[in-house]
Amino acid sequence: MTTQSITELFDLSGKGALVTGGALGIGQAISFRLAEAGAAVLIADVNLDAAKQTVQEIESRGGRAQAIAADVSSGKDAERAVQTAADAFGRLDILVNNAGIFPLVPVLDVDEATWDRVIDINLKGSFLFAQAAGRQMAADGRGGKIINIASVDGIHPNGVATHYNASKGGVIMLTKALALELAPHQILVNAVAPGGIATPGGENARTQVSETTGVPAQAMVDGWLARVPLRRMGEPDDIAKVVFFLASGAADFVSGEIIVTDGGYLLS
Ligand SMILES: NC(=O)c1ccc[n+]([C@@H]2O[C@H](COP(=O)([O-])OP(=O)(O)OC[C@H]3O[C@@H](n4cnc5c(N)ncnc54)[C@H](O)[C@@H]3O)[C@@H](O)[C@H]2O)c1
Q: What is the DSSP string of 227-244?
A: T-TT-SPBPHHHHHHHHH
Q: How far is the CA of 36 from the centre of ligand 1 (A)?
A: 21
The residue whose CA is least distant from atom 20 of ligand 1 is 201
Amino acid in the structure at residue 203: E
| Closest ligand 1 atom to Cα of 50 | 39
215 half-sphere exposure, CB direction, 13 A CA radius: 10
Cα-Cα-Cα-Cα dihedral sign, residues 150, 6, 9, 33: positive
pLDDT, position 257: 98
- 239-265 pLDDT per residue, tens: 999 999 999 999 999 999 999 999 999
What does the alpha-carbon distance between residue 74 and residue 96 come to, in Å, rounded to a whole number?
Answer: 16
Q: State if residue 132 touches ligand 1 by the CB under 6 angstroms criterion.
A: no
Domain definitions of the chain by residue range: 6-197+234-260, 198-233
Does the domain at residues 6-197+234-260 carry the CATH identifier 3.40.50.720?
Answer: yes
Q: Report residue 220's pLDDT band, with 50, 70 and 90 as the boundaries.
A: very high
Q: Report residue 1's pLDDT band, with 50, 70 and 90 as the boundaries.
A: low
| Closest ligand 1 atom to Cα of 26 | 16
Q: Report residue 228's pLDDT band, with 50, 70 and 90 as the boundaries.
A: very high
265 catalytic residue (yes or no): no
Pick the closest to residue 243 from 199, 173, 166, 188 (CA basis).
Answer: 188
**Selected catalytic residue, list 89, 164, 244, 245:** 164
Q: Which of 18, 45, 48, 227 to mutate to test the pocket of ligand 1 (most atoms within 8 A of CB)?
A: 45
Q: State if residue 199 touches ligand 1 by the CB under 6 angstroms criterion.
A: yes
Enter the pTM of the model. 0.98
Distances (CA, A) of 26 to 43, 119, 140, 169, 187: 12, 19, 29, 19, 23
